[in-house]
Chain A
Amino acid sequence: MRAVLIRHYKSLHTWTGIVAGLGLFIAFYGGALTVFKEPLTRWASPPAAQQTEGLQTLFDLETAPALIRRTLEAHPEVGEDFVLHLAPGIHRPSPLAWKRHAGAADEHDDLTPKHYFALPAADGYVEAKEGTVSKVGEFIDVLHRVVGLPFDNNLNRIPMGIIAMLYALALLSGLVIVLPSLARDFLALRLGKNLKRMWMDVHNVVGVASLPFHLLIAVTALGFAFHDGVYFLQERLIHGGEMRAAFAPRLPAADASTDLAPLIPPAKLVAQAKALSPTFEPERLHFVRLGSPRAMVRIWGHDPTAHSPRAPGGFLALNPHTGDVLTADYVPGRQSRTMSLVASLFALHFGAFGGAPIKWIYLFLGFAGAWLVYSGNVLWVESRRRKSSRGTGVEGPAQRRDVRMLAALTVGVCLGCVCGVSFSLGLSKWIFGWVDDLLFWHQAGYYAVFFGAIAWAFGRGAARASIDLLWAAAVLTLSLPITSLLGRAFPTTGFWGHASTVGVDVAAIMLAACFAWMAVATRRRALTGPKDSVWSLAPQVLLECPPDAAFEPAGASAEVSS
């Protein structure tokens, strides 16, 4: 009975993995990079430093009230929703920024709205300047959130939720498979002649070692996909219709008195947050519904001594006219036990705790997750391998059609995603100033490379394409630091390379070196490894062929890519 059950769960593991694996690869690769979304965005954004002199005074909190007042005089609609950044950034010409949605806004869509900055004009007015802050970091994040689809909206979160369910099933069934032999096999790495055994051992050790991370990611991904529906049902079945009211108890009614006190200066708002939590480091003030009784400012920031409740940090919400605290539930390190527990789910998904070391660990865990699903597909392919049989004299029998297909699809999707992301990042510097709609080109560039790579993999076969595409990934990734270097050496190229984002360039060099090494290793394996494999470049012969056909010249009867 036990053996039957384990075989049953093995099938479950295999097929959930195969169906969800390629989407998960994109989610992991994009998610790993999203940990560094902020530096990637800065890396990809042109310097906004035309007004470097005066930029410091512009970011001086003492001048903020005047900037806000003049902005609202010139553009009253901005009071509905704008941000005041406290620290200058190389990509920000002004501390005051807002965004405008073209159509109906989705709360999770930060990709399509246009961003504007308030620049002081000579005559005392404020000029709205469209921002050049790059969207490519956000685009990579969206790829990660909706497993490779271009926009994060309600519809696209359904496939994301289904993939997350398959992922959870793959994890739990994988656990059932390895549990009986865990003590014996966990650290048994049988490195050696039997390549499939070795891949299986490494797949198991990586899977078991990062299981807590994966369970956490799976549960939170399900929550991100389905929370609206679950809240809807729980409100009716469990909370008796009282939940919605419980969330906004301290906001006054919409028809409350509009006789408002003047806006409290940002410096005092920041001081109020610091008084509540001395270890909290405010970064920006997000004002909404200014000048109405329901006005609110969220003071966003990080606390190095605590975990962050959300990806961009935590916040204190105040009424900017009265200074009343609207909610302190999201101030990092000052949360109730329950809120701290809920916040830890977010922090553990985003790696939003523990500072830079945790971010690097999360990058590594994300890449490891991508490798885990990739190796799962490789194992599927290897388990269905047609062995050469000495008796017939056929050295490299042709592999099954579905096996060749899945091998090509795996190589195309995984390496297509890697190449596409690097290409899309590079575009931010290469075509800046030449095109109007940069976001469109980021997306078009990514998908062109992604689908091109898949087509290439099917056309050339998995073995050849994996070498080609690994080299392409190495070259495209290496082009990023080269572009930065060119920008620094020759500013006339129109490129740029910020000193503050050298870390991105260094990481890209290391990543490119990894891809190049993998290309070399893959080529060596294709040439000298076992010939009865989809990864071999040796000519393969259809087993169904009559025996004499097997002795025709190499490649005459069948190719890997046929």
Chain B
Amino acid sequence: MTRSTSSEFRSDWVSKTLAGVVLGFTLALALSGLYALAASGVHLSERSQLAMWATFPSWMVALAGGYACRSGARAWLLLGALNLAAWGLFFLLRLP
């Protein structure tokens, strides 16, 4: 992201909140999938609990971080891109 001084910072409360709640959550799910893959040596009954709990810190950080974007549209773009990357990596790693 380039920051030009000409573009104004927009509050966009509704848009940023929705982006963080929805895309932040799907991003957190993808990250929890990556943790689960990294911990594949741990029995599933334990790994799944770890993955469940791991969802919430990343979700909240994504939600809170989204407000730092310069506009709601940028929050959707950024979180959308991170979602694509994380889910892409997850399915790629799970392929074989």
Contacts and interface: CB of A to CB of B under 8 A. Distances in A.
A168 B46 contact: no
Interface string A163-186: 001001100110010000000000
Q: Main SS of the interface on chain B?
A: helix
A129 interface: no
A226 B43 CA distance: 23
Nearest to A248: B45
A222 B59 CA distance: 10
Interface string B25-61: 0000100110010010011111111111101110111
Interface residues of B, number: 32
Nearest to A246: B44
Given A168-B64, A338-B46, A234 B51 contact: yes
Interface string A336-360: 1011011001000000000000000
Interface stretch (A52-60, A81-89, A237-245, A522-530): A237-245
Contact of A339 (B33, B46, B59): B46
Given A219-B53, A342-B53, A234 B48 contact: yes
The secondary-structure label for the interface of chain A is helix
Given A219-B53, A234-B52, A247-B45, A169 B33 contact: no
A9 interface: yes
A169 B60 contact: yes
B64 A1 contact: no
A9 B45 contact: no
A400 interface: no
Interface in B73-91: 90
Contacts of B29: 230, 233-234, 237-238
Contacts of B57: 219
Given A239-B36, A239-B44, A12 B51 contact: no
A223 interface: yes
A11 B60 CA distance: 17
Nearest to A343: B49
Given A172-B61, A234-B29, A223 B48 contact: no
Contacts of B52: 223, 227, 230-231, 234
Contacts of B50: 338, 341-342
Interface in A225-269: 226-227, 230-231, 233-235, 237-239, 242-243, 246-247, 249
A169 B46 contact: no
Contacts of B23: none
A5 interface: yes
Contacts of A275: none
A214 to B, nearest CB: 12
A178 B64 CA distance: 15
Contacts of B53: 219, 223, 342, 345
Interface in B6-30: 9, 11, 21, 29
B36 A238 contact: yes
Contacts of A339: 46, 49
A4 interface: yes
Contacts of B90: 238
A201 interface: no
B37 to A, nearest CB: 9
Nearest to A167: B60
A274 interface: no
Contact of A243 (B32, B48, B63): B48
B63 A165 contact: yes
A222 B64 CA distance: 15
B46 A336 contact: yes
Nearest to A226: B56
B60 A246 contact: no
A329 interface: yes
Nearest to A5: B68
A101 interface: no
27 contacts: A8-B9, A8-B67, A8-B68, A11-B11, A165-B21, A168-B56, A168-B60, A168-B63, A169-B60, A169-B64, A172-B60, A219-B53, A219-B60, A222-B56, A223-B56, A230-B52, A234-B32, A234-B33, A234-B48, A237-B29, A238-B29, A238-B32, A243-B48, A246-B45, A338-B49, A339-B49, A341-B50
Given A230-B29, A239-B44, 6 more contacts: A8-B67, A168-B56, A238-B51, A339-B46, A341-B50, A342-B46
